[in-house]
């Protein structure tokens, strides 16, 4: 089957309600039995067919009643208000797992595990990240805010640095692990602090993760 050629590259902020490390990264069950998560990205370079996506941002809020692979999840996606109609359609196609080799990307895998997709929101998205320093912030005013900082040693308070490499990952190949605080209202709610976060440079295409 022929798919539309697309590719997006740029920094990602992700966080979930699991403890630091996130069992999903190791094919284990979620810390609290369910999965609630967010992820956001600034596309430094991107295209969907002939549609350019450079400079746009997106923010997703997810929730599953149990482990992701059991399905029954829901999602609310926010698309950069600066995107035109073609760009909006392109991003929604990518983020809902369409025009993608089956199982090749996080978008396609997550889409297969969702039972409810809320109407997308088009709004301004704040996004700032320093991957090496394990710090970042992503926010949609009145809807969701994520703040990320380094994991700290509980005894000394010193910053603790941990990286995870997934050579065959469908989201990233290398990520810095951090500590995240997330609060979301609306269709998909989140409310936690000091739990798993990871920061990565994404490079994802029709056929999967490239770098």
Q: pLDDT tens across 122-141, in order?
A: 999 999 999 999 999 999 99
pTM of the model: 0.95
Expressed as residue numbers, the domain containing 107 is 6-209
Q: Is residue 188 part of a domain?
A: yes
**Number of H-type helices and E-type strands within the chain:** 2, 17
Interatomic CA distance for residues 54 and 95, integer angstroms = 16
Q: For position 211, what pLDDT does the model report?
A: 85
- 1 belongs to a structural domain: no
Number of domains in the chain: 1
| Residue 127 belongs to some domain of the structure | yes
Structure confidence by residue, pLDDT tens digits, 39-93: 999 999 999 999 999 999 999 999 999 999 999 999 999 999 999 999 999 999 9
Whether residue 1 has pLDDT greater than 80 = no
């Amino acid at each position: 089957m022929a798919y539309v050629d697309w590719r997006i590259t740029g920094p990602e902020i992700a966080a979930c309600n699991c403890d630091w490390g996130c069992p999903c990264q190791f094919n284990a069950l979620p810390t609290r039995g369910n999965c609630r998560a967010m992820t956001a990205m600034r596309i430094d370079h991107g295209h969907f067919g002939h549609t350019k996506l450079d400079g746009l941002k997106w923010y997703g809020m997810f929730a599953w009643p149990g482990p992701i692979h059991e399905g029954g999840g829901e999602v609310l996606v926010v698309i950069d208000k600066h995107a035109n109609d073609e760009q909006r359609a392109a991003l929604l196609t990518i983020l809902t797992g369409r025009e993608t080799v089956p199982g090749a990307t996080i978008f396609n895998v997550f889409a297969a595990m969702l039972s409810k997709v809320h109407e997308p929101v088009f709004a301004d998205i704040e996004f700032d990240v320093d991957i090496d320093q394990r710090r970042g912030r992503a926010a949609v005013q009145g809807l969701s805010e994520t703040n990320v900082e380094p994991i700290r040693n509980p005894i000394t308070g010193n910053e603790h640095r941990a990286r995870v490499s997934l050579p065959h990952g469908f989201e990233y190949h290398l990520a810095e692990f951090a500590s995240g605080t997330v609060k979301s209202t609306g269709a998909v709610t989140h409310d936690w602090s000091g739990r798993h976060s990871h920061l990565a440079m994404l490079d994802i295409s029709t056929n999967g993760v490239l770098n």
